[in-house]
A and B are shown apart, each in its own frame.
Chain A
């Protein structure tokens, strides 16, 4: 038995049965990191020494017969835009290259309380601005299935780390698809929870009303194990709401979706789609029918404006959120400056990458003067329209099915067309704009690059998408 081949829930079972120790689990993963990291570059920082200490503490607890938490002994990868006390948090940027988090994000606090072990911080597009993990200051991450391909992004490091078995579980963040798309490109389960299910305290903000922390796992059960730990109301993030833990044990037995009403939005199938994605989607629809679900086509006419709405809202938020990086309190400070203004300008100019600057400039432009009303306010109104259309669908249906992405993982360094990005945005961004939950599950294809099936649910109806994902996974395994 090779420990790294086990699912997280299997590791925990064997740990509790004293078949393996926490140190053995961690060491086998650290060895794996040594072995593959030079090819994959999934991590920016490895938390080796502290993780080994943590593992020994857990072994001691088990030896003494003490209670251990839900993630006991499980090595976890954390996207590098989430604060981890006394450990570096860079957001994939030169401007935070030497930044040591002074506190733990709420999700990290919860992981630690549940005895999960932070193995390291994963690579990402700079400040999450991108969908390929190539805009990182720390170099691109490669897709473990084919290292000439991108892993997707922006949480590409978190996806690649789980796929390459450097960790069994990881967390990422999803503002417009940044968990689901890499999950799809790497053949993993990825969950973007409802806005408000998981605390964002300690997450470096990209776009405040769209950002949500979520999880990656190698199967649905693993992803749910992790999601259960990090969910819940937090005094430090007032957008969080009370939520009930998902009953994993009962979910394992889901093998029928009788009575479940599935909606297929026509708008999702108008654009270009990779042939393999199309074929896998057709098969998936038949699987849902076989499971007893009823499937109907529906309209979501305003999702065709999701890309524009998303870009306006995020760019506006970015121009404001990025203002905090001033070279004074933390972060990179330029060597040469005469005045305070030069300190700001030189530090920011040298510290930010090109994509970040582009979005700051664009956000500043669309917010300045009369344009604030013309673009930002109008985008918020279109958002209302998109939310209304989804509310209408969820008043009649339980879940929405779509491919996670109409594309497969593409070559590193390849420039994508605007149409390509537009097609991809259509499947991912509306979910964030409406604050919904969604899961990406690998489809059944065993050869070539993976395809992800996206199951979208209403706000705080994680149970619906997870049930459907369990049943579907059971059929394609």
Chain B
């Protein structure tokens, strides 16, 4: 069973804040979802390999050539704060 503490722990990992008023609802939702997916436990997967790609692609490699990329102003145009052509964030160290 997922309890309030588990939901708060997951929220912390996912950088979300869940209010006391919403908490019960998320506890219920997550327990319902777990109940649904727990059905896979009845499947015997002993001899099966996990599938990572339906087309069985082998890592396609290419020459490491310098190619045109997005211009700096395009990259920065959606940010709230920039300085000297960089994203500006809060000071994290003194």
Interface of A toward B, CB cutoff 8 Å: 98-100, 102-103, 195-196, 209, 235, 238-239, 241, 302, 305, 307-309, 311-312, 315, 319, 322-323, 326-331, 333, 337, 339-341, 343-346, 348-349, 352, 357-358, 360-362, 364-366, 368, 375, 377-385, 387, 418, 434-435, 459
Contact among A102, A348, A434 with B16 in the assembled complex (CB-CB below 8 Å): A348
Residues of A within 8 A of B90 (CB): 337, 339-340, 343
> Are A361 and B50 in touch, CB under 8 angstroms?
no
Q: Are B49 and A384 in contact (CB under 8 A)?
A: yes
Give the CA-CA distance A382 to B32 in the complex, in Å: 21
Q: Would you call the interface of chain B mostly helix, strand, loop, or mixed?
A: loop
- DSSP class of A's interface residues: helix, strand, loop or mixed? helix
Q: Can you report 25 residue pairs joining A to B where beta carbons are below 8 Å apart?
A: A241-B55, A311-B36, A319-B14, A322-B14, A323-B14, A328-B79, A330-B78, A333-B80, A339-B90, A348-B16, A358-B29, A358-B33, A361-B10, A361-B14, A361-B26, A361-B30, A378-B40, A381-B49, A382-B40, A382-B43, A382-B48, A383-B51, A384-B48, A384-B49, A384-B51
- Among B16, B37, B49, the residue within 8 A (CB) of A352 is B16
Count of interface residues, chain B, beta-carbon cutoff 8 Å: 47
Q: Which of B2, B29, B52, B77 contacts A100 (CB 8 A)?
A: B77
Chain B hits for A307, CB < 8 A: 36
In the bound complex, how far is the Cα of B41 from the Cα of A375, in angstroms?
A: 9
Give residues in B with beta carbon < 8 Å to A. Answer: 2, 6-7, 10-11, 13-18, 26, 29-30, 32-34, 36-37, 39-41, 43, 45, 48-55, 57, 59-60, 62, 70, 74-75, 77-80, 87, 89-90, 92
Q: Which of A99, A235, A352, A459 contacts B54 (CB 8 A)?
A: A459
* Complex CA distance for A341 and B62, rounded to whole angstroms: 38
Closest 5 CB pairs of A and B: A435-B54, A380-B50, A330-B78, A381-B45, A102-B74
Q: Which residues of B contact A315 (CB under 8 A)?
A: 33
A308 touching B79 in the complex, CB below 8 Å, given contacts A346-B17, A362-B30: no
B54 and A209 contact, CB distance less than 8 A? yes
Please state if A341 and B89 are interface contacts (CB–CB under 8 Å). Answer: no
Do B33 and A362 have beta carbons less than 8 Å apart? yes
